[in-house]
Structure 1
Amino acid sequence: MASGGEVDRIAAEFGVHFVNHTRRAGGRHQSKARRTCQTILKKHGAGHLRLVFGLIDTEKNRGNWSAPCLTAVSWLAANKPEWVERRDFLEAFDRLDLEALLERAKRINPGAPTLTLSVLISYELDRLMAERRTERAA
């Protein structure tokens, strides 16, 4: 099992503090997803978990520390490494509205919002990066 202390330290680097799963996260700096983060840490390592936190830690998306968002962003980083390495990836990712995409995923597929969110993020990033390529070509 991944260390809860290590997960807490990594989260703290981004100003995130975990609250008990029975409580409601009360702000943009709180998360109930400690167990999800432990799973990500165990499966992919500390560097990957830091990448996930770093991608979500933008002015627009800070506060989206839910298990579905963390899992979907982790999936994207693990399965699309060629995207993560692109110069325009961070710019495109910063343009995402994770909260809106999660709400849309819940409406589309209430039984599997995390999987649906992963797909929506992939489609949206693909669109944004293609849009950027078109702008550069013009």
Structure 2
Amino acid sequence: MASGGHVDRIAGEFGVHFISFERRITGAHQSKARRTCHTLLKKNGEDHLRLVFGLINAGKNRGNWSARCFTAVSWLVLNRSDLADRADFVALFDRIDLDALQAVARKTDPKAPTKAMTVLLSYEMDRLAAGGEMAA
């Protein structure tokens, strides 16, 4: 069974520190998504969690350590092997602006923004894989 300390160590590898959900995030190295990351670790293992952290850790997306991002990126990796197995997967993913997708997801479905984010991320990856430009 995965422990909370294990999740903290993996997050620390990427310079991320979990804070209480009651506190306000004051920097790009803070996240309130400890519970989400713990769930991903328990369900999918540490290699999967490290991959998700690594994908979110791209230059322009660094700081998107929300539960919504972790969940959407994890779903993409687990359920879209046609994309995740591509040699250019990381390069395509790095072209996505997770902040913009989150904003669109909140507007698209305010009651279920995580599901909307997951769908939008999948659509954007499809668009980029097909050679199109990103809409968000």
So what's the TM-score if we normalise by structure 1? 0.93
CA distance in 1, matches of 2:36, 2:24: 16
Q: Map 1:1-138 to 2 at 5 A.
A: 2-131=2-131
For 1:136, the equivalent position in structure 2 comes to: none
Larger Rg, first or second structure (1 or 2): 1
Give RMSD over aligned pairs.
Answer: 1.0
- 1:105 Cα deviation from its structure 2 partner: 0.2
Structure 2 gap segments, 5+ residues each: none
Q: Which one-letter code corresponds to 2:124 in the other structure?
A: E
Quote the sequence identity (%): 62
Corresponding residue SS for 1:101? helix
- Number of matched pairs: 132
SS in structure 2 of the partner of residue 43 of structure 1: helix
CA distance in 1, matches of 2:17, 2:118: 24
Q: TM-score, structure 2 length as denominator?
A: 0.94
Cα distance in 2 for partners of 1:104, 1:89 equals: 22
